[in-house]
Structure 1
Amino acid sequence: MGGALRGASIGLAVCFLATACGGGEEPEPERVTAAEQCDGTLSPVAARALTRVLGTQNFDDAPTGGLERVGGELTADHAATEGRTPRRSLCRASPAVNSDAITVAFRLFRDVDLPGDQRAADMHPYDMGVAALSGPRRADLYVRCVSPRFQGSDKRPARIKGQLDFLKSELPDTVPVREANLTVLHSVTLAMARELGCEDDAGLDEEPVFEALPE
């Protein structure tokens, strides 16, 4: 009898350790590396840039599905209006060691929304996409997209703006910081262009090429 009880106890212990009793499933692994942030849209170069600007290799668990969700939202927005639309948040990358974070969001823009001479002193123009700006606390990237998902875009391309924002930032306004922020945004925007089926990747290179414009 005692041997039978001991055998049953051992069997239960093994069952719980294997997490196979009662149809249980293995828990999903946490997505805590830089490369796994923003729905896995970061290239190796962009993942390294993210670790530099946020000062960590370890992040809070990152949910998935943002790329497909925001792609669908932009498609629906384009069908509903030709004007500027609400920001559609794709991701938030939060370090596990401090309270800082970055968010990346997309929206449709109007041509009158393109940056001109009036801009914040710490936002610097780059020759990327239709237009690009980057600074220590934010980066913007504007592209035009011709895709079957956007009706009429073969005659009037859809206009998409990607925006990266820091929750808070004490980074200096330097060229390496600007380029790191824009590298992250470029990678997510390129992934969005491919999700949407934009011709020629919406005019974006495989890797960012930085050419600062006169200010």
Structure 2
Amino acid sequence: MIKSVALGLTACFLLAACGGGEEPEEQRVTAAQQCDDTLSPEAAQALEEVLSTRTFDDAPSGGLARVEKQLIEDYAKRERWSLHPPLCRAGASEGTDRIDIDFGLYYDDDLFGDAPARGLHPYAMGREAQSGPKRAYLFVTCVSSQLKGSDQRPARIRGALRFNKSKLPDTPAVREANLTVLHSVTLAVVKKLGCRDNAGLPDKPVLTPK
């Protein structure tokens, strides 16, 4: 009898503490699963290219909803500028290279204008778009029913993509890949917020240099 009980307990523990043998959650290690599933097929391919990998660290979920909540709260507080933990941190499963993509409010002084920082190049998208081998920025304005008063005072939302380190060359292909990734995540954010006309962003990134 004791032996039978022991065998039963052993089987129970092997089945995840009598949980009926539920399968473990699938690891989110493909490019398409990064950034809370906000990447278009083109953006997922671009992410593989800039990080030189097809397998990524296991990606957490929930970043998109968190960013939505933070932006709504920041706007309600009439913040002119804000910065929060990244919506997305994507890194190769082997190696230390990674990118962070974060969102916050901005004010007009944050715009680069006609004098972008070294290593950045302007593109004709959103209110302003800048991209380089180590970082990219996308600035938009949003009118949404979730942002009370934005019909009179549109919310200024900034998306930023940053590498922790990068040896990528400063070429059009690299700049366009970075901007493709950032556009896809930003588009998901403005759709989540319900921004009118998707805050002026097209479904496909505009990769026309200015």
| TM-score under structure 1 length normalisation | 0.90
Q: CA deviation at 1:117?
A: 2.7
1:202 paired with 2:199, answer yes
Q: 2:43 aligns with which of 43, 46, 51?
A: 46
Q: 2:18 aligns with which of 18, 21, 42?
A: 21
Match in the other structure for 2:64:
67
Report how many residues are paired.
Answer: 210
Q: 1:188 to 1:5 in 2, by over 3 A?
A: same
1:145 paired with 2:110, answer no
Q: 2:122 aligns with which of 121, 125, 147?
A: 125
Unaligned runs of 5+ in 1: none
State the distance in 1 between where 2:19 and 2:191 align.
Answer: 41
Q: 1:175 aligns with which of 172, 186, 206?
A: 172
Measured on the aligned residues, the alpha-carbon RMSD in Å equals: 2.1
Kindly indicate whether the alpha-carbon contact (under 8 Å) linking 1:73 and 1:88 is maintained by their aligned counterparts in 2: no
Rg larger in 1 or in 2? 1
Q: Name the SS for the 1:89 alignment partner.
A: coil
Match in the other structure for 1:116:
113
Bigger mean CA offset, 114-123 vs 163-172: 114-123
1:164-206 C-alpha deviation (Å, 9 max, x unpaired): 0001000000000000000000000000001111111111111
Q: CA deviation at 1:119?
A: 2.4
1:64-83 C-alpha deviation (Å, 9 max, x unpaired): 00000011001100111241
